[in-house]
């Protein structure tokens, strides 16, 4: 149906995505309900597997519909050797909300279902907020420095939420996704940060350092993902309308060693070492983005 006008394709995609939500989300709610009322670990582990299978089908239908309506040239590399029964920490650059759909398409049924740390406010997103809750997506409440100074008891609350989420993730293979820049790239944010990178914002090491510190013994690999839209910045509507002609994704599988595990918030030497490791990865990612866009 690539012969259809772009706006019509966008409308059809919205309709299909909406119907897909109405198809799968009620099933998620039913399974989540029975998982909640029967507090037995084997039963809850079984329910988690069912929930992940439902979510994978949801993603598959989204990907199929976009492929049927829009012609996109995909260039994806680095997926060799990935397994669905292992634990992964996935980190990527972030330019648009479309990045989430790209990651879901690329990794669906190749690694465990991606789980994102979400802002607490997103739980109020109609239907989807409850779906994310049903699937144990961790909701984070970030406190500003001013809020912590006003109420010191808030210090460390966000880390405790992360710690509880990591305990849940220990029961079944999972892929924990983190956009290390913390926000979507824009030239204005790039200027405000005085970022040393041409195509990226400064990486924030605390989140992934904490996850590795909490689950490093269980994690198998870090997947360093570089997403490039050679035609330049896009938005979600442009993606739905088929105006994105090419998407390039490079996946680099990195080993996890003892030098990457430590107490990031209390060990200054480890913090400096970890930041240096991440900055070196970000410098190479910046160079790679320029190469991929060329």
Q: Where are the domains of the chain?
A: 74-293
Question: How many CB atoms neighbour CB 199 within 10 A?
Answer: 19
The two structure tokens encoding residue 290: 């320029």
Among 171, 175, 173, which residue's Cα sits nearest to residue 35? 171
Among 76, 61, 81, 83, which residue's Cα sits nearest to residue 106? 76
Question: What CATH fold (topology level) applies to the domain 74-293?
Answer: Glycerol-3-phosphate (1)-acyltransferase (3.40.1130)
Specify the pTM: 0.88
Mean pLDDT value across residues 24-48: 91
Mean pLDDT value across residues 216-227: 90
For residue 143, pLDDT beyond 70:
no
pLDDT for the residue 116: 83
pLDDT digits (tens, 9 = 90+) for 71-126: 889 999 999 999 999 999 999 999 998 999 999 999 999 999 998 877 778 888 88
pLDDT for the residue 147: 66
pLDDT for the residue 137: 83
The two structure tokens encoding residue 230: 């050679």
Inter-CA distances, 71 with 1, 3, 20, 67, 98, Å = 9, 10, 21, 6, 16
């Amino acid at each position: 149906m690539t012969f259809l006008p772009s706006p019509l394709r966008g409308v059809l995609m919205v309709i299909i995505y909406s119907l897909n939500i109405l198809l799968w989300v009620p099933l998620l709610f039913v399974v989540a309900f029975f998982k909640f009322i029967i507090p037995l670990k084997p039963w809850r582990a079984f329910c988690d597997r069912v929930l992940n299978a439902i979510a994978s089908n949801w993603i598959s239908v989204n990907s199929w519909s976009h492929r049927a309506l829009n012609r996109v040239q995909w260039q994806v590399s680095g997926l060799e050797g990935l397994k669905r029964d292992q634990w992964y920490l996935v980190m990527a650059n972030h330019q648009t909300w479309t990045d989430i759909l790209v990651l879901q398409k690329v990794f669906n049924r190749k690694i465990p279902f991606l789980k994102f740390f979400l802002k607490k406010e997103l739980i109020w997103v109609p239907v989807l907020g409850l779906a994310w809750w049903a699937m144990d997506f961790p909701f984070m409440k970030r406190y500003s420095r001013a809020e912590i100074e006003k109420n010191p008891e808030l210090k460390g609350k966000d880390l405790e939420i992360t710690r509880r989420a990591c305990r849940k993730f220990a029961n079944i293979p999972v892929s924990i996704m983190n956009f290390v820049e913390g926000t979507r790239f824009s030239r204005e944010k790039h200027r405000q940060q005085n970022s040393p990178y041409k195509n990226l914002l400064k990486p924030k090491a605390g989140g992934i350092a904490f996850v590795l510190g909490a689950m490093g013994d269980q994690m198998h690999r870090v997947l360093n993902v570089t997403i490039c839209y050679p035609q330049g910045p896009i938005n979600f509507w442009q993606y739905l309308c088929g105006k994105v002609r090419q998407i390039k994704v490079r996946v680099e599988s990195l080993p996890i060693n003892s030098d990457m595990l430590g107490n990031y918030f209390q060990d200054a030497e480890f913090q400096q070492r970890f930041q240096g490791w991440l900055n070196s990865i970000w410098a190479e990612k910046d160079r790679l983005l320029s190469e991929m866009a060329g």
